[in-house]
Amino acid sequence: MSASEAAANAAAAGQVEVRDSVGNLLADGDSVTLVKDLKVKGAGQTLKRGTVIKSIRLTGDDQEIDCRYEGIKGLVLRAEFVRKS
């Protein structure tokens, strides 16, 4: 199955394709690595480049992923700042 066929099947099923910074397709439960230092609003903390985030969840938006990290509740990251591990 080609990439265009997979995209057509996902669109027909009502699912959103979420791709990381280099174009890899992300799915629920994947682990991702940050490609940039990110300041976390409200937490007073900075997540450093290379930090591994485990067990992500897709939100239904093609650019946002929901995840957990120690000490930060309700962390939502943009897909453009992560790379699949």
Give the pLDDT of residue 4.
53
Q: Which of 43, 23, 32, 42 is nearest to 77 (CA)?
A: 32
Task: Report how far apart, in Å, the C-alpha atoms of 76 and of each of 4, 8, 10, 51 are.
Answer: 28, 27, 23, 15
If pLDDT is split at 50, 70 and 90, which confidence band does 39 have? very high
CB 34 within 8 A of CB 81: yes
Q: Are 52 and 33 in contact (CB under 8 A)?
A: yes
pLDDT digits (tens, 9 = 90+) for 57-81: 999 999 999 999 998 988 999 999 9
